[in-house]
Amino acid sequence: MHVDARELADGSLIEGDVCIIGAGAAGITIALEWLGNGKQVLLLEGGGFDYEQQMQQLYRGGIVGLPYFPLEAARLHYFGGTTNHWAGFCSTLDPIDFETRDWVPHSGWPIAYEDLAPHYARARELLDLAADEWTSREWERRDPSLRSLALDERVAWTKMWQFSRPTRFGTKYRDAIVKAANVHLYTYANVVELMPNESATAVDALRVRTISGREHRVRARQYVLACSTIQNARLLLASNSRVPAGLGNQNDLVGRYFMEHLEMPSGQLVLTDRRVPDMTMYMFDFGRTKARGEIALSAAMQRENRMLNASVSLTPGTLAGAAKAQSTFQAFPPDSMPSFRRSAPDEQSDAAEFATPPVQDMPRTYDLLTRQEQAPNPRSRVTLMQERDALGMPRAQLDWRLTDLDRSSFRAFYEVLGREMGRAAIGRVRMNDWVLEEGPKWPGSLGGGWHHMGTTRMHPDAKQGVVDVNSRLHGVANVFVAGASVYPTAGCANPTLTLVALSVRLAAWLGSRA
C-alpha cells in the first residue's frame, strides 16, 4: 500500500508493528524480507518516487575539515535512495576487516566474516549479482577468459568484484513494496524526531513532517533507522527534546567515526614480461562486465607492514597520463549527478549483453586507482548546525578527518605491491608523487567514493559503540539502526553489498522476535 503523507489530514496518527525510517537500500531490503510475514510494516520515505530539488535540499549541510562532496549531492532523497545513482560495484569485506588489529585504533567488529557470509548470498540476489562466488579461482572456472596474475598469495591476491547492472531499488522493488498487503509505504513522510519515553529507554512515537507543513505521529513497537550514515546520526542528534545530547548519544559517540573510502589515483603498473599477459580479468566495461579482479595485499602483509586494507583497480593508461590524475571531487562534480541517473544501465541492459567484453590489444601500462579503507577516527564526525532546513531540522555538518595511518598505508601498499610485481616478473610499479610525500597535507587528488560509514558504530560496549551486536541502539530497547552507519571499520569494498547483507541479517533477527 502506498500513501502520500502530504494528503493525510494534519495531526494524523499512523500505527503499525514495525516502522522502517528510510526507503533506500537498507530500508527496502528489510521491508522485502518482511513481505507477508504477518506484521504490519510501516516504511517511511522522506521524498517521493523521483528526484525533486526541493526534497534534495533537505540534505544540504556544512563541510568543515577536509574538502568533501556537497552533502545534498552525496545522497539521494527519494524512494530507492542512493541506489538511484550508484554505480553497482560490489565486493565482500575480507575476514581481516572484522578483526581487532592492534595497529588500527578502534578496529574490530563484534561479528566475524563467517557470521555475515550466509547473508551475502541473499544480498547478492537482491543486487542482481551473477554468482555467489568471490574468489578468483571460482571465476576462472566459470569463465576461461579470466586469468589471474601469478602473484604469491602470501603477499598479494586478486580480489573479486561483481557488478550490479546497477539495480535501482526504487525501480525494481517499487511494485513489490506498493502491492504488499502488509507493507505500508508513506512517501513525503520526513521523520524529524524520535520521541522517547520519560527515561529515554524506548521510543514511543515519531514526529513526521511534510514539506507542506503538516505534522503526523507514527507509532510502532519497534523502529529501524535506515536513513543513511549522515542522516541516521543527524536524526538521533536532533532527537534531543528529552535527552539534550541526542538519543543514544549518552557517551558522545553518535556522529563520530565517520569514514569514507579513499579512492585516489596512486600509481601505475607497467608490464615488463616479454609476453604481455591476458589482462581480461582486470578489465571493466560499465554495464557489461559481470566480475573483475583488483589487486589486494594479504592479511599477513597488512599485519607485517601495519597498514590499512586496500585494493587497486587497473585501467589502461599511459605513462604520460599519470600527471592528469583528478580527485573524484573534481571528476564527479555535483551537477553531473543527474546524468548518472539518466544513464542507469537497467535501461540499457536489454541492448547491451551483460557479459565479459572481449579485450583486443592488451596494453602494457595501467593506471592504478586505490580504494583504501579509512582508519576509524573519533574526530571525523557529523554534528548539527544552528541552521535549519525547511522542515525545521538542524542541518548536518561534516568534519571529515584523516590520520597519519591513512596516509602511510598508501606508500606501504605500493612498496609491497611493487616488490611483488617485480618478484613475479609481471611488471614495475610507479607511485604518484603524492604517495611519496611525507607529512599531514593531502594532495589535490584527495577523493572519496561517495561512501559514508560509521557514525553509529557497532560495539558490544556502550562506551565504545552506538549500537550493539544486533544493531540495537544502546540503552534504547526498541530502536535499531540499519545501513553502513553501523560499520566499525570500512574495509576496502564498496559498502552497498555489506549493508544489504547486514540488513538481511537484521531483518531475520528482528523478524523472528518482533
Partner 1 sequence: MIEQIGRRRFLQVSALGVAGLLTASCTPGELGSNEVDIAVPQLLPVLGPDVVNDIGRRYRRAYPDESSAPRLRAAIGASHRTTAMIGWTQQSLDEQLLADFAGGRTVVVNGWVLAVTEARQCALYSILHG
For partner 1, the closer CB: 105 or 422: 422
132 binds partner 1 (CB under 8 A): no
For partner 1, the closer CB: 6 or 364: 364
196, 265, 267, 447: residue in contact with partner 1 (rule CB under 8 A):
267
| Per-position b or e across 362-385, b if 16+ CB within 10 A of its CB | ebbbbbbbbbbbbbbbbebbbbbe
Query: Which among 208, 308, 226, 264 is positioned nearest to 445, based on CA atoms?
Result: 264
Is 86 in a helix, a strand, or coil?
coil
Site string for partner 1, 37-76 (x = CB under 8 A): ----------------------------------------
The one segment of 251-259, 266-274, 334-342, 492-500 that binds partner 1 by CB under 8 A? 266-274
425 binds partner 1 (CB under 8 A): yes
What nine digits make up the cell of 124? Answer: 547478492
Residue with cell 586507482: 369
E-only strand ranges, 9-73: 13-15, 18-21, 41-44, 62-65
150 binds partner 1 (CB under 8 A): no
Whole-angstrom distance, CA of residue 415 vs CA of residue 409: 10
The one segment of 43-51, 263-271, 339-347, 394-402 that binds partner 1 by CB under 8 A? 263-271
Query: Which among 72, 27, 391, 384 is positioned nearest to 207, based on CA atoms?
Result: 391
432 binds partner 1 (CB under 8 A): yes
Residue 363, preceding bond cis, omega within 30 degrees? Answer: no
Taking the complex as a whole, how short is the minimal distance between the CB of residue 103 and partner 1, in angstroms? Answer: 20
Pairing between strand 18-21 and 41-44? parallel
Taking the complex as a whole, how short is the minimal distance between the CB of residue 389 and partner 1, in angstroms? Answer: 46
Q: How far is CA 195 from the centre of its chain?
A: 28
First vs last C-alpha separation in the chain:
21
Number of residues written out for the chain: 514
430 binds partner 1 (CB under 8 A): yes
Whole-angstrom distance, CA of residue 325 vs CA of residue 305: 27
**Helix, strand, coil distribution of the chain in percent, nearest 5:** 30, 25, 50
362 binds partner 1 (CB under 8 A): no
Taking the complex as a whole, how short is the minimal distance between the CB of residue 435 and partner 1, in angstroms? Answer: 7
The one segment of 27-35, 346-354, 378-386, 432-440 that binds partner 1 by CB under 8 A? 432-440
For partner 1, the closer CB: 251 or 315: 315
294 binds partner 1 (CB under 8 A): no
For partner 1, the closer CB: 266 or 494: 266
| Per-position b or e across 116-151, b if 16+ CB within 10 A of its CB | beebbebbbebbbbbeebbebeebbeebeebbbbeb
33 binds partner 1 (CB under 8 A): no
Query: Which among 167, 165, 166, 161 is positioned nearest to 291, based on CA atoms?
Result: 161
For partner 1, the closer CB: 67 or 422: 422
270, 462, 508, 514: residue in contact with partner 1 (rule CB under 8 A):
270
The one segment of 84-92, 296-304, 418-426, 500-508 that binds partner 1 by CB under 8 A? 418-426
Helix axes 495-511, 25-33, angle to 10 degrees: 40
410 binds partner 1 (CB under 8 A): no
Residue with cell 592528469: 324
Residue with cell 618478484: 423
What nine digits make up the cell of 120? Answer: 551475502
Helix axes 113-126, 495-511, angle to 10 degrees: 100
324 binds partner 1 (CB under 8 A): no
Taking the complex as a whole, how short is the minimal distance between the CB of residue 422 and partner 1, in angstroms? Answer: 4
271 binds partner 1 (CB under 8 A): yes
For partner 1, the closer CB: 403 or 432: 432
3, 415, 469, 509: residue in contact with partner 1 (rule CB under 8 A):
415
Taking the complex as a whole, how short is the minimal distance between the CB of residue 440 and partner 1, in angstroms? Answer: 20
272 binds partner 1 (CB under 8 A): yes
| Sign of the CA dihedral running 138, 141, 146, 149 | positive
Element (H, E) at 415: helix 404-423
Taking the complex as a whole, how short is the minimal distance between the CB of residue 162 and partner 1, in angstroms? Answer: 30
What nine digits make up the cell of 459? Answer: 560495539
Judged by CB under 8 A, how many residues of this single chain contact partner 1? 24
Whole-angstrom distance, CA of residue 114 vs CA of residue 384: 37
Site string for partner 1, 302-321 (x = CB under 8 A): -----------------x--
60, 221, 364, 401: residue in contact with partner 1 (rule CB under 8 A):
364
For partner 1, the closer CB: 254 or 429: 429
Chain residues in the site for partner 1 (CB under 8 A): 267, 270-272, 319, 364, 414-415, 417-423, 425, 428-433, 435-436
